[in-house]
Structure 1
Amino acid sequence: MMYLELIAATANTVTTTSWSPKVAIVMIICNVAMFAVGKAVIQKPNVGPAPNTFLGMSLAALIGSTCLGHIVGTGVILGLANVGAL
């Protein structure tokens, strides 16, 4: 029972932010950064459906890179909002 009270007490301390152009810029930067990482790290970026879709990457590699970019961007936005920078 004590664990539920602890979880309830910590659940209300998360700082969130509403959408703004700053949030959009942070998400775009994270997506571009993860696209560059994906381009450098993926061993066969041109294998899969729709090869050479965007700058020599297949559609699967592009979607995978942008999915990672959104995950990283979400963490960066939440972290910056918690610190008070956004």
Structure 2
Amino acid sequence: MMSLVLAQVAHTSPWSFNTALVMIAANLFAIAVGYYAIQNRGVGPKLPVEMPAMFTGFGVPELLATMSFGHVIGAGLILGLSNAGLL
């Protein structure tokens, strides 16, 4: 019975440079989407360090929201690409 369960587990690739590139690209995509989609930027606490122009008006809540969204997208991409054998 256990062998049937193990046979159904999706194949995932181990961490590699390609996996990191997919996650970075997904996070940058999420930041770009968040930059245009978030209507009330800069309402919460400011970031403690100076950021590039891409993060204009971004505070801690916006950064956490876009990075969380980027990691969800990245995890889906990594699982899908590794299951398809492309990663």
TM-score, with length taken from structure 1: 0.81
**Shift of residue 79, structure 1, vs aligned partner:** 0.1
Residue number among 23, 30, 38 corresponding to 2:34 in the alignment: 38
Residue number among 6, 17, 22 corresponding to 2:18 in the alignment: 22
Return the structure number with greater relative CO, CA threshold 8 A, min gap 6.
2
Give runs of ≥4 in structure 1 deviating > 6 Å: none
Structure 2 residue 50 is matched with structure 1 residue 50? no
Percent of pairs with identical residues: 39
Q: 5+ unaligned residues in a row in structure 1: which ranges?
A: none
**1:10, 1:42 → 2: CA distance?**
42
Q: 5+ unaligned residues in a row in structure 2: which ranges?
A: none
**Shift of residue 32, structure 1, vs aligned partner:** 0.1
**2:56, 2:72 → 1: CA distance?**
22
Amino acid of the structure 2 residue aligned with 1:19: W
Task: Name the Cα RMSD after superposition.
Answer: 2.1
> Could you tell me which residue of structure 1 aligns to residue 80 of structure 2?
79
**Shift of residue 13, structure 1, vs aligned partner:** 3.3
TM-score, with length taken from structure 2: 0.81
